[in-house]
Structure 1
Amino acid sequence: MDRITAEKAKELFEKNDILTLGRLANERKKLLHPGSYVTFVVDRNINYTNICTCKCKFCGFYKDKQENGAYLIGQDELAKKIEETVSLGGTQILLQGGLHPDLDIRYYEELLGFIKRNFDIWVHGFSPPEIDHIAKLSSLSIEETFARLKAAGLDSMPGGGAELLVDTERSRISPNKIDSERWLDIMRKAHLAGLKTSATMMFKKSDSVDNILEHFSKIRDLQDETGGFTAFIPWPLQPDNTELDEEHSTAVDYLKVLAMSRIFLDNVKNIQVSWV
């Protein structure tokens, strides 16, 4: 099965034939995973803070520092969440949070050290916007930031903050977030530092096929370069309680994007579903 071009992918996408998309996605899957099985990891998403200076328009999560409901997780609560995860057979935590204005790298080193001293668990943590924020607050390069976080216990990195890697759209929905080139460069540096990562895409009902395929192309190109992505996770925007006036994507919309992800990203071994 040859690599698909963006032009051919657009033609397939716009035909709206979900059965053909599904068949082609399954063919691609069989080339990468010949067995008839899927895998899963028992883990838990732990958000260490909801205080965030980024204030993305699609986010219903963030709070200002003094706002009612704002929090920064303490060690006791963190330990309780991890203990519950381990008791259920969990082997990993996804550790992410907002861009807190006061937390430099020392906080994250202490956080990781506490986890690793007390638990035998894989830490999949800190998306590219968080890495960028930590580096700037700490007056460190991205390379120095990764070196210190790895030494403290970071095992791998999630692909959050990608949203859509098209800057005209990013400037509309998340004007304070790093741009697409910065996101990709931080991923490149993570891979060069020996950290495996996932990649993500948040898509909307209103997104054009061209924009979705531009996102796919940027992920595929970087994977050709580094080979550092272990999985790709697309998910639809949840527009309720956000500043965006967007329709909900349908189940068919999701299945089309999921299938095209598998067809297009021939060099990313796993397509993952979002569990949040």
Structure 2
Amino acid sequence: MASLLDGAAAGKRLSAEEAVMLHDEAPLGALGLAAHRRRLQLCDPRTATYVIDRNISLTNVCEAQCRFCAFHVQPGSPDAFVLTVEEVIQKVEDAGKRGATQVMIQGGLNPQLNLAFYEQILRAIKRQCNLWVHSLSPAEVAYLADGAGLSLPQCLSRLREAGLDSLPGGGAEILVDAVRQRVSPYKISAGRWLAVMEAAHGLGMSTTATMVYGLGETPAQRIQHMLAIRELQDRTSGFTAFIPWSCQTNRTGIDQRPSTGVDYLRMVALSRLVLDNMPHLQAGWVTEGPDVAQLALSFGADDFGGVLMEEKVVRATGVQYAITAGQVIELIRKAGYTPAQRTTRYEIIATVSETSGGTK
């Protein structure tokens, strides 16, 4: 076990069997130390980054009916809502005034919202606000492409021309169809999720990748998910970051033992070692809480993620962590790093001085 961890910490590629062994048998402390050593090699050892952004839930109507989602409603529900273009712009403008550099629009699979509607919103954002638009998961892109009768590259090209800058990695869950058919049977397959990302990378658009664990999957299926992303990254180098987080089962159709902070730290460390070609690893305070996310910075993560304004999807499960930029800065500093605000593409905007708390 020690030699396997030493090799992984030095960048030796893990096989599926070796990764499962680490998942099941590696002591947490040793696993975390190996991941931290790898993080120090791949990323600036002095800094940990964060981004100021806003999540905008465009609608809660979604045909996917994922069992783990407590936010969606069916078309025709009296609780359904759809924001107008004007309402979206108001939220984006407010985010810009509060220091955001990125907005993420989440829309779900709403049959009333077509490609032209999203193009209208994207153009309005770029015309009036010009923030970076990191929006539309692969499931949403595929849904819009199918509705418009377009190929994935054609749909993405139109979205990019309208103002879409990059794609978030949402909707990945576990990239194993046996799992997906059980928890999200109406969502795109694992292969199509990967195809959307490969098409985006082919157009020069960067994306992130995610994993939601705790859906009843096996350790081998978790590793299969990571290896699918690693293989695509080998071909395209288009992923900027990987973000694992635990399924929040409250108010959902998932009947599983809730994951613990220890489970999360193990997944973060394992992600750093298995995904040897992934530049950045993000800590998930939205689901795990700020304190566990801070610990993740010593288990392989190098980024604290977004200082989110208006996150609603996770909150629908009853998990309601909130955090400010000042709190993120302090958490990073207490973890032993210099806080640095970044762009979506991980370009450093400013580091935060220790004495004044200001940027430089």
TM-score range, shorter chain: over 0.9
Letter of the 1:60 counterpart: A
Matched, 1:37 2:47: yes
Match of 2:265 in 1: 255
Corresponding residue for residue 204 of structure 2 = 194
Q: Which amino acid aligns with 1:221?
A: E
SS at match of 1:44: strand
Specify whether residues 11 and 128 from structure 1 end up closer, same or farther in structure 2 by C-alpha distance, changes over 3 A only: same
Structure 1 segment 73-88 matched on structure 2, within 5 A: 73-88=83-98
Structure 1 position 17 matched with structure 2 position 27: yes
Q: Distance in 1 between matches of 2:94 and 2:24?
A: 45
Q: Tell me if the contact between 1:162 and 1:201 (Cα under 8 Å) persists in the aligned partners.
A: yes
Alignment match, 1:101: 111
1:67 aligns with 2:77: yes
Report if aligned partners of 2:183, 2:215 keep a CA contact under 8 Å in 1. Answer: no
Q: Is the 8 A contact 1:205 1:247 kept in 2?
A: no
Deviation at 1:147, TM superposition (A): 0.8
- Alignment coverage as a number of residue pairs: 276
Q: Calculate the TM-score normalised by the size of structure 1.
A: 0.97
Query: 1:66 Cα deviation (Å)?
Result: 1.6
Structure 1 segments of 4 or more deviating over 6 A? none
Deviation at 1:18, TM superposition (A): 0.9
Are 1:6 and 2:16 an aligned pair? yes
Q: Does residue 118 of structure 1 match 2:147?
A: no
The letter for the 2-side match of 1:23 is L
Contact in 1 for aligned 2:241/2:280 (Cα 8 Å): yes
Deviation at 1:8, TM superposition (A): 1.7
Mark the CA change 1:274 to 1:70 in structure 2 (over 3 Å): closer, same or farther: farther
- Separation (CA, whole Å) in 2 of partners of 1:102 and 1:178: 19
1:131-150 paired onto structure 2 within 5 Å:
131-150=141-160
Question: What SS does the corresponding residue of 1:215 show, helix, strand or coil?
Answer: helix
RMSD of equivalent CA atoms: 1.2
- In the TM superposition, residue 204 of structure 1 has moved relative to its aligned partner by 0.1
Partner of 1:268: 278
Q: What letter corresponds to residue 16 of structure 2 in structure 1?
A: A
What CA distance in whole angstroms lies between the structure 2 residues aligned with 1:141 and 1:243?
33
Alignment of 1:192-271 (within 5 A): 192-204=202-214, 206-271=216-281
Shift of 1:12: 1.6
Q: Can you list the C-alpha shifts for 1:182-218, whole angstroms capped at 9, x where unaligned?
A: 1111111110011100000000074321011000100
State which of 153, 157, 168 in structure 1 corresponds to 2:163: 153
Local SS of the residue matching 2:240: strand
- Answer yes or no: is the 8 Å Cα contact 1:52–1:64 preserved in 2: yes
**What is the distance in 2 between the residues matched to 1:177 and 1:82?**
28
1:28-49 deviation per Cα after TM superposition (whole angstroms, max 9, x unaligned): 1111114221101100111111
Unaligned runs of 5+ in 2: 1-9, 287-360
Per-residue CA shift, 1:94-122, capped at 9, x if unaligned? Answer: 11111011222100110101111110200
**One of 55, 65, 75 as aligned partner of 1:55:** 65
8 Å contact 1:56–1:174 — kept in the other structure? yes
Q: Distance in 1 between matches of 2:44 and 2:116?
A: 45
Amino acid of the residue matched to residue 186 of structure 1?
V
Shift of 1:16: 4.7
- Are 1:94 and 1:124, in contact at CA under 8 Å, matched by a contact in 2? yes
Is the CA contact 1:205–1:249 (under 8 Å) kept in the aligned structure 2? no
Name the SS for the 2:51 alignment partner: coil
Question: What SS does the corresponding residue of 2:49 show, helix, strand or coil?
Answer: coil
Q: Show CA shifts across 1:141-179 (max 9, x none).
A: 111101100100000001111000011110000001111
Asked whether the equivalents of residues 155 and 195 of structure 1 are also in contact (C-alpha less than 8 Å), the reply is yes
CA contact (8 A) 1:205 1:248 kept: no
- Give the structure-2-normalised TM-score: 0.75
Q: 2 CA distance for matches of 1:141 and 1:34?
A: 39
> What letter is aligned with 2:142?
D
* Structure 1 residue 275, shift from structure 2 partner: 5.1
Give the 3-state SS of the residue equivalent to 2:223 in structure 1: helix
